[in-house]
Structure 1
Amino acid sequence: MRKIIYLSTLIVLTQLNALAQKETAWWHFGFNSGFNFNSLSNVTASDGTIVTDMPESISGPLYTEEGCFTLSTYDGQLLMSSDGRTVYDRNGNVMTNGTGLLGGSSATQSGIVVPKPGSLTQYYIITVPQALAAGGVCYSVADLSLNGGLGEITSKNNVILSGTVYENIAAVPNTNGKDYWLIHRTAQTFYVWAITSAGISATPHQTITSSLITTVTSSYVGEIIVSPDYTKLVTCTWAGYQIISSDFNPATGLISDIKVQSFPLYPFGGSFSSNNKYIYVASGYNGSARAYVNTWDNLRAGVAFTALSNGITNLRRGMDNRLYGTSALASAKPTKNIYVVLNPDDGGTNIKYFPDYLKGTGYLGLPTFAAGFIRIIPKEQPFACTAHNRTYSVEVDLSGGNAPSQLVWNFGDGTPNITQTVNSTQSKYSQVHSYPNSGIYTITITPYKGDGTTIDDITMQANIVNCTLKSNRMTRSELLNSKQQ
C-alpha cells in the first residue's frame, strides 16, 4: 500500500535518510575495487582484533585513481557507477550511449548522480573535468526504464557552468522534500544551482565569493564535504593548505559565513561524522598521507586539526556510519590496504588497519554521493508475474480539506482507464490488474477534485516478469519484489 497525503494540493514525500539509507550500499572505486554493504562478515584487523559487520570486498568496473561515483536503490540494489567519463550499468557493462562524458577520472570528484525530481526512472549525472580541462560542469541524463532496466544515457554533456572549473561537486536535498541543490567551487567563488522537476537552473541560484580563500597553482584539487544534516560545508584547497568552511541553509539554498583555516599538509578529502560533530580530512598523497580530525565548533573557532593516523589517503562514511579509508605507499603507489575508523562520532581514536583487503587496489578516490536522497517509497512494491492478477493500492488522506472526488487509474499498457469514486468514509483504494506481457510499466493515478481540476499525479512502477519459480504467487512476490531484479 502506498500512502499519499494531500495538504494544500501538495504530495508530501518521504526523505530516505530516515528510512532505508541504502543508496550508498555499493561502492566502486580505484582500480577494479569496491565494497558491498549488503553483504557483511567478521574480519580480523592487523592487530588481531575481530571487527564485526565489515562490507564484502568486491571487484568493480572502474579503473580510476581519483574521481568516481556510484548509486544504488533505496533498498540497496546497484544502479550504476562511473569514473566521470564512462557510465556502467548494474551488471558492470557500459551503459548504452554511456561513453564520452566530460568528467575526468583524475578529478578529485569527477561527478555525482542525483535522482531527477518528479521522475522514478531518470537521473542527472553531473560531471567535472580534471585539472582545469575544457568542458565545464555538465550534466547528462540516464533513463533506467530503458533496455530492460539497465538504462541508457539519453542526453549528454549539457553545460551548467562553462569555462574554468575546479575538481569538486556536491548535491544536497532541499528541505521541501522534492528538490536538490547542486554546489561547486572555483577558486574563491561558490555556485549553487536548483535542481527541480523543471530541470537544473540555467543561472546559479547563488554566487558567493570570499577573498579569504588563497588561490595558488593546483588549488583546483580538493573535495566538497557536506554534513549529514545538510547545514555545514567543508571544501579542501590542496596546494593552498586550506580548509574552507561555511554554513548552508538547505531550505533557501544559500551559503553564508565563509571561514578559512590552515591545514598542516595537503588537504584532499574526507567526511563528517554521522552526529555532525567531527570533520575528518585526509591529506592525500605526495608521500604524506595522513588523517586529521577537528570538531566543527573548533574548526569554526580557528583551532588546529589533530593528527590521527599516517597512511590514509582519503576517508568516506559508509552506511554503517564508520569511516573507510584508502591507503597508498609513500611513493604514491595504490595498495589493497584499507583503514576503518570505528568510532567517528567520538573523535576517531579507534582505527583499524586491514592489509590486502581490496580485490583490486585503491588510491585517492572514493565514491562521491549526494548528501541525502529524496524518494517516493511504495509500502507495497508492485511486483507481479505475467498473466497473474495483482492488487495495486494507494491511501488518500481525507483530512486535508482538499480531498479528491475520484481517482483515474492508467496502467501504462494501453488498457482503458478505470475511474474510481472517492467517498468520505474510505481512505484506502485499490485496483486489480493483470499484465499479459513482461516489462516495466508506469501506473499513473490522477486525482480529480469536485470542480473537475486535477491534483498532482500519483505514479508507481510495476515490474512484470515471466516467473519460473514453482510456488504460490505470494512466495514469488516475497522473493522477487523489486523492479530492479
Structure 2
Amino acid sequence: MKLLHKAWPLALLGLAATQAWAQASTNPLQNCTPTQVRATERYWFAGNRIAMDFGVSGTALPTITANPATVPWVDEGTTVVTDSNGTLQFWVGQGNVYNRDQVVMSNGNGIVGNQSAVQVVVAFAAPDVPGKYFVVSTSGLAAGNAGTLRYSVVDMTANGGLGAVTSKNITVPGGISSNETLSAVPNNDGTGYWVLTTSYGTRNLVAQQFDSNGPMGAPVISTLSEDVGNLFGSIYFNKDLTQFAVATSVQGSNASNVIRTMRFNAQTGQATEIASWHGGILGSVYAADFSPSGQYLYVSNIYPGQLYRYDVSSGDATTIKASEQYIGATGGSNGGGHVRRGADGAMWVANRDNTTGNSLTRIAAPEEALVANIGFVLGNIKLPAGANSVWGLPQTVAGCAKPLAPDAVPAVSGPAALFYVGTPQTLAVNVANEGGSGNVADGTLTITLPANVQAGSGLPAACTAVSPQQVNCDLAAAGMGPIAPGANLGPLSIPVTVSAPGTYNVDVTVASVTGETGAALLNNTAQTSLTALALVPDAIPAISGPAAPFGVGTPQTLAVQVTNNGAAGAVADGTLTVTLPANVQVTGGASLPAGCTAATPQQVACDLATAGGPIAPGGSLGPLNIPVTVSAPGTYSVDAVVTGVTGEAGAALLNNTAQASITAQDAVPPINGAAPVPALGAGALAALSAALGALGIASRRRKAQAADRR
C-alpha cells in the first residue's frame, strides 16, 4: 500500500520554460463511434470487490455489486477490456488476469508490476489478429525506484472464448524507465498502439509503439518543462483523444504537484505541452482526468484526500491556474484516491478512508460552471456489503485500435424442400463482413452453376449472367455496398431453373476485395446443394361401396375416384381397372360412366383420357359410379388399379391400387321387425286353390239345405 509521508516540506520549484515543437500534431485514430466508445467503458472492477456495470448506453447510475473474484483486495491500478459491443473480455488487477467469469484466466497469475501503482497496467488489442491483446505493466514504485515495462499476451480465442495468457512478463526493449503513470492510445492510422509513461527523476515522457507482433522501433522521448518527480501520477486522454493530461508529484514538496495538458502526435510518438502549472498544495497529486466535454480537468490528491478542478479550455497556463477551484476533501490524512471520468457522464472519486471506504463519490454534473452545482457530496454512492473503496479506479482502453481488415464471407442456400425439373427456384446468397474494420466496398461475388442448372431472368441490380452457368455481382455498385464490419449484404435472390433431375452443387466466391489479406482470404468461398426431381404425375385410385349391407339381387353402385398426388405433371392418360369378384357383376343393362367399358361382367376398364382427364396436380377425377349386382350373400373385395400413366415412375407407382369391401344379405330385413311372409311354390299354390274351391262348394250346399227346410 501507499506509504504515509507526514514530514514532507513544502517547496516551490521555479517554472521551467515550456518547450514547444514546431510540428503538426496527428491525433490518435478514434476508430470507434461514440456509441462504441460508450460500450467499451461499460465495466469497472476496482478496490475490494467493487464491480460496476454502466450498461452500453445512457447516464443512469451503474449497477454495483460485490465481485466474486478470488483475489478481492486490489490496492490501486486496474484495467478492464470491454469490446465495442459491450462484452467483457477480461480485466487485470493485483497481478492477475481475470476472465469474464471472474476467475483467473489460464496462466493469468503472476503479472509482474508494482501493484501499488496508480496505473499499474494497461491493455489493448493487437491490430489484425483476432482475439489477441497486449497487457503492459510497470514496476515503478513511488518514493522508491524507477520501474521497468513488461508485457504479456492474452489470446481470447482460447478456452472457448474465456482466454489464456500465452506469453508473460516480457521486458519491453529500449531500457525504458517507468513510474506509476501508464497509459495507451492508438497510433494515427490504427495499425498499432502507443504505450506512454514518465520516468522518475527526469523530464522525460516516453512513448513505445506496439504493432500486432509486440514492441516496434525505439522508444520516443519527449522533454517536459519540469521534473516528473518520484511519487504518484497519471496519464489520461480526453474523450476525443485530442489532448491528454499528465499529473505527477515530488516527494517532500506538495507545491511541486505538476499538472500538464498535452498534445500527442500519434504518428511520430512525440508529445507537446499545451500548458503546465502547479496544482493545489494540500496533499500530493494522485490522478487527473478530463470532464466529458474536455473543458474541465479534475485533479485528486491524497495525504490528505483533496479534489480540485481547472478550466483548461483556454490552453493558457496562467488562465488555467487562475481557474483553480477547491471542491472538497475526499478523505482524511490517509484518504483520497483516483478521480475518473465515468461512462455515465459523471466524475467518480475513490474514497480510501476509514470512515468513507464503504462508498464512492459521484459528481453527477461535472460540466456545471459553479462548483456548488456539480453535485459533490463525499461518499454519496454507498457500496454493497463486502465491497470497499481503496485508492484506485480502473482504466479502460482509450479508443479502438484499427480493427481487422475487411473479411468478406459469402453464404448460399437453395430451396428448403425438393423441387422439380423446369420449375423456377431461387438461390439466396449473402455476403457478410466479419472483419473488425474496413468496409467491404468493392470486389466481385461470383455464383457458379453446374451443368443442367441455369440462371434465370430477374437478377438483382449489379448482377450479370456472363453465361447461363455464371453470375457475377459487382460489390462496389450502387445498392450493393459498402458492407460495414459486422454487417451483411443480402440475401441476393438468384433465379435458377434445373433442366434434368439430380442433386447439384452451387459455388459462390468473393474476390478482389480491397484490403482483404491473410487469413481473411481463407473463407471466401461457400457451397450449397440442391435437388430437383422429374416432373411426374402420381395417380392414386380410391373406391368405396354402399355404406350398409344390401340385398342379393338389388342393384348397387361402386364409387371410384382417381387423384393426382404429384407436385407437377398432369395424369393425362392411363387406365383405371375395376375388378369384381365371383358373385358380383356389372348390373345388366345399366349404363357405365363415359370412357368406361365392361370387358367382362367382372371387369370394368376406364380410359382416364376420356373419362374426365387430364387430372392436374392436386386434382381428382370422379366419382365414377360403377353399377353392380350381387347374386349370392356374402362379403366381397373389389379392386381398383391405375396403369399406363405417362411419366409416372418410381415411388409414384407404389400407390396405384385401392380396395373396398361390400356385403350382401340373402334378404332385406323386414321393417319394424314384422314376421316375414313365407314364399309359396307352384304346387302349394294349386293345392291351396283346390282347397279354397272345395270350401266354396260346401258352403253353397249348406245354404241350399237351409232354404229347403223353411
- Structure 1 length normalisation: TM-score? 0.72
Q: Secondary structure at the match of 1:31?
A: coil
1:252-288: CA deviations, max 9, x gaps? 44311364311123110131012111111111x21x2
Is the Cα contact below 8 Å between 1:133 and 1:164 reproduced in 2? no
One-letter amino acid matched to 2:383: Y
CA distance in 1, matches of 2:191, 2:262: 24
Q: 2:346 aligns with which of 322, 335, 341?
A: 322
Deviation for aligned residue 1:458 = 7.8
**Alignment of 1:260 onto 2:313:** no
One-letter amino acid matched to 1:336: N
Summarize the Cα distance change of 1:336–1:208 in structure 2 as closer, same or farther, 3 Å threshold.
Answer: same
CA distance in 2, matches of 1:420, 1:63: 62
Q: Aligned residue for 1:207?
A: 221
Q: 1:231 aligns with which of 224, 230, 242?
A: 242
Summarize the Cα distance change of 1:446–1:369 in structure 2 as closer, same or farther, 3 Å threshold.
Answer: farther
Is the Cα contact below 8 Å between 2:368 and 2:374 reproduced in 1? no
1:425-444: CA deviations, max 9, x gaps? 57365699xxxxxxxxxxxx
Q: Aligned residue for 2:43?
A: 26
Deviation for aligned residue 1:36 = 0.9
**Alignment of 1:423 onto 2:434:** no
CA distance in 2, matches of 1:53, 1:192: 36
Q: 1:171 aligns with which of 179, 184, 190?
A: 184
Q: Secondary structure at the match of 1:91?
A: coil
CA distance in 2, matches of 1:391, 1:215: 60
Summarize the Cα distance change of 1:321–1:401 in structure 2 as closer, same or farther, 3 Å threshold.
Answer: closer
**Alignment of 1:77 onto 2:77:** no
1:181-220: CA deviations, max 9, x gaps? 221111310111223334332412x21123x32354xx24
Is the Cα contact below 8 Å between 2:140 and 2:148 reproduced in 1? no
Deviation for aligned residue 1:133 = 5.6
Is the Cα contact below 8 Å between 2:35 and 2:57 reproduced in 1? no
Q: 2:382 aligns with which of 352, 356, 376?
A: 356
Summarize the Cα distance change of 1:176–1:54 in structure 2 as closer, same or farther, 3 Å threshold.
Answer: same
Q: Aligned residue for 1:142?
A: 154
Is the Cα contact below 8 Å between 2:119 and 2:182 reproduced in 1? yes
CA distance in 2, matches of 1:460, 1:18: 30
CA distance in 1, matches of 2:102, 2:214: 28
1:338-380: CA deviations, max 9, x gaps? 111112233454224325335511121100122212465999x
One-letter amino acid matched to 1:326: A
1:86-116: CA deviations, max 9, x gaps? 1111011110000111122201101111011
One-letter amino acid matched to 1:231: T
Deviation for aligned residue 1:406 = 5.4
Deviation for aligned residue 1:167 = 1.0
Summarize the Cα distance change of 1:368–1:402 in structure 2 as closer, same or farther, 3 Å threshold.
Answer: closer
Q: Secondary structure at the match of 1:268?
A: strand
Choose 1 or 2 for highest CA Rg: 2
CA distance in 2, matches of 1:337, 1:167: 25
Q: Aligned residue for 1:439?
A: none
Q: Aligned residue for 2:443?
A: 404
Q: 1:101 aligns with which of 111, 129, 142?
A: 111
CA distance in 2, matches of 1:221, 1:141: 27
Which stretch shows the higher mean deviation, 419-428 or 110-119? 419-428
Q: Aligned residue for 1:308?
A: 327
One-letter amino acid matched to 2:192: D
Summarize the Cα distance change of 1:257–1:63 in structure 2 as closer, same or farther, 3 Å threshold.
Answer: same
**Alignment of 1:368 onto 2:381:** no
Q: 2:308 aligns with which of 281, 292, 296?
A: 292
CA distance in 2, matches of 1:290, 1:420: 70
Q: Aligned residue for 1:394?
A: 432
Q: Secondary structure at the match of 1:308?
A: strand
Is the Cα contact below 8 Å between 1:186 and 1:220 reproduced in 2? no
Q: Secondary structure at the match of 1:148?
A: helix
CA distance in 1, matches of 2:155, 2:396: 19
Where does structure 2 lack aligned partners over 5 or more consecutive residues? Answer: 1-28, 251-255, 331-335, 410-415, 417-427, 448-469, 482-488, 493-507, 524-710
Q: 1:269 aligns with which of 279, 287, 292?
A: 287
Summarize the Cα distance change of 1:447–1:457 in structure 2 as closer, same or farther, 3 Å threshold.
Answer: farther
Q: Secondary structure at the match of 1:19?
A: helix
Deviation for aligned residue 1:146 = 0.4
CA distance in 1, matches of 2:191, 2:356: 40
Deviation for aligned residue 1:394 = 2.9
Is the Cα contact below 8 Å between 1:261 and 1:299 reproduced in 2? no
Summarize the Cα distance change of 1:39–1:73 in structure 2 as closer, same or farther, 3 Å threshold.
Answer: closer
One-letter amino acid matched to 2:432: V
CA distance in 1, matches of 2:197, 2:118: 12
Summarize the Cα distance change of 1:159–1:59 in structure 2 as closer, same or farther, 3 Å threshold.
Answer: same
CA distance in 2, matches of 1:58, 1:391: 46
Is the Cα contact below 8 Å between 2:405 and 2:516 reproduced in 1? no
Where does structure 1 lack aligned partners over 5 or more consecutive residues? Answer: 1-12, 42-51, 383-388, 409-418, 433-444, 463-485
Summarize the Cα distance change of 1:100–1:328 in structure 2 as closer, same or farther, 3 Å threshold.
Answer: closer
Q: Secondary structure at the match of 2:233?
A: coil
Q: 1:339 aligns with which of 361, 385, 394?
A: 361
Is the Cα contact below 8 Å between 1:245 and 1:258 reproduced in 2? yes
Summarize the Cα distance change of 1:109–1:93 in structure 2 as closer, same or farther, 3 Å threshold.
Answer: same
Is the Cα contact below 8 Å between 2:194 and 2:208 reproduced in 1? yes
CA distance in 1, matches of 2:226, 2:345: 31
Is the Cα contact below 8 Å between 2:433 and 2:440 reproduced in 1? no
Q: Secondary structure at the match of 2:40?
A: coil
Q: Aligned residue for 1:7?
A: none
CA distance in 1, matches of 2:176, 2:356: 32
Q: Aligned residue for 2:300?
A: 282
- Structure 2 length normalisation: TM-score? 0.50
Q: How does 1:174-185 map to 2 (within 5 A)?
A: 174-185=187-198
Which stretch shows the higher mean deviation, 254-263 or 221-230? 254-263
Is the Cα contact below 8 Å between 1:17 and 1:373 reproduced in 2? no
Which stretch shows the higher mean deviation, 179-188 or 139-148? 179-188
Deviation for aligned residue 1:391 = 7.9
Is the Cα contact below 8 Å between 1:173 and 1:180 reproduced in 2? yes
Deviation for aligned residue 1:164 = 3.8
Q: Secondary structure at the match of 2:348?
A: strand
Q: Secondary structure at the match of 1:70?
A: strand
CA distance in 2, matches of 1:456, 1:171: 27
Q: Aligned residue for 1:467?
A: none
Q: Aligned residue for 1:194?
A: 209
Deviation for aligned residue 1:74 = 1.5
Summarize the Cα distance change of 1:299–1:378 in structure 2 as closer, same or farther, 3 Å threshold.
Answer: closer
Q: Percent same amino acid at aligned positions?
A: 21
1:95-146: CA deviations, max 9, x gaps? 0000111122201101111011112311111111241568611111101110
Q: Cα RMSD between the aligned structures?
A: 3.9
Q: Secondary structure at the match of 1:346?
A: coil
